[in-house]
Amino acid sequence: MYTFGIDIGSTSSKAVILRDGNELIAHVVVPLGTGTVGPKEAREKVFEISGLTPQDISYTIVTGYGRMNCDYADDQISELSCHAKGIHYLLPTADTIIDIGGQDAKAIKISPRGQMLAFQMNDKCAAGTGRFLDVMARVLNVDINDLGPVSEKSTRPVAISNTCTVFAESEVISQLSSNIPIEDIAAGIHNSVAKRVVGMALRLGRSQNVAMSGGVALNVGVVHAMSRELGCPVLVHPLCQSAGAIGAAVLAWEKYLKGEGKVS
Task: Give per-residue pLDDT as tens, 217-250.
Answer: 999 999 999 999 999 999 999 999 999 999 999 9
Per-residue pLDDT band for 259 (boundaries 50, 70, 90) equals confident
- How far is residue 99's CA from residue 106's CA, in Å, rounded to a whole number? 5
Give the per-residue pLDDT at 264.
42
Task: Give per-residue pLDDT as tens, 197-212.
Answer: 999 999 999 999 999 9
Q: Mean pLDDT throughout 125-154?
A: 88
Residue 256's H or E segment, with its range, is none
- How far is residue 168's CA from residue 11's CA, in Å, rounded to a whole number? 22
Give the per-residue pLDDT at 46.
98
Bridge partner residues of 110 (DSSP): 116
- How far is residue 101's CA from residue 86's CA, in Å, rounded to a whole number? 15
Give the per-residue pLDDT at 209.
96
> Where does residue 103 fall: left (phi above 0), alpha (psi -120 to 50 degrees), or beta otherwise?
alpha
Q: Mean pLDDT throughout 33-41?
A: 95
Examine the pLDDT at 263 and tell me if it is beyond 50.
no
Give the per-residue pLDDT at 14.
97
Cα–Cα nearest to 241, from 25, 8, 14, 10: 14
Examine the pLDDT at 187 and tell me if it is beyond 60.
yes
User: Average pLDDT of the chain?
Assistant: 92
Give the per-residue pLDDT at 256.
93
The pTM of the whole model exceeds 0.95: no
Residues 18, 61 contacting (CB under 8 angstroms):
no
Q: Give the single-character DSSP code of 65.
A: T
Residues 160, 130 contacting (CB under 8 angstroms):
no
Bridge partner residues of 116 (DSSP): 110
Q: Mean pLDDT throughout 109-130?
A: 85
Give the per-residue pLDDT at 208.
93
Give the per-residue pLDDT at 127.
66
Beta-carbon contacts of residue 38 (< 8 Å; ≥ 6 apart)? 8, 12, 13, 30, 31, 32
